[in-house]
Amino acid sequence: MRRRGFLLGFCLLPALAVAQPAPTPAERQRQLDQWWARQREKEAADRFWNGPREARRDLTRDQVEQWERQRDRRMRRPPHPF
C-alpha cells in the first residue's frame, strides 16, 4: 500500500513541476521586491532587538562596572572583593 502511494507520488511529481509556468518579468520583479522588503523588515527587527546590546559595547569601563554592580545587587550576589 505504501509502495503504491510512493509510486503515484513519484509519477505525479514531474506533472506538478511542468504545471507551473515561468513567471513573467513583471511578476518576477514583484517577487524580488517582496523578498527585499522582507529582508529589510527582518534587519529592522534585528536592529530593534540587538540594538541595546550593541550600544553597551560603547560604554566606558567605569560604566560597565557600575552596570555589573547594579546587576549583582539585583541578583543578590555578594560584592566583588576588589
The answer to whether the beta carbons of residues 69 and 61 sit under 8 Å apart is no
Domain membership of residue 55 (yes or no) is yes
Q: Tell me what percent of the chain is helix, strand and coil, each rounded to the nearest 5.
A: 80, 0, 20
Confidence of residue 38 (pLDDT cuts 50, 70, 90): very high
Confidence check: pLDDT of 12 > 80: no
As a whole number, mean pLDDT of residues 33-59 equals: 81
The answer to whether the beta carbons of residues 31 and 23 sit under 8 Å apart is yes
If one counts the domains in the chain, the total is 1
Its domain, for residue 65, covers 29-82
As a whole number, mean pLDDT of residues 48-76 equals: 80
The three cell numbers of residue 15 are 506533472
Domain membership of residue 4 (yes or no) is no
For the four alpha carbons of 24, 27, 29 and 31, in that order, the dihedral sign comes to negative
CA distances for 4 relative to 12, 16, 17, 47, angstroms: 12, 18, 20, 51
Domain membership of residue 45 (yes or no) is yes
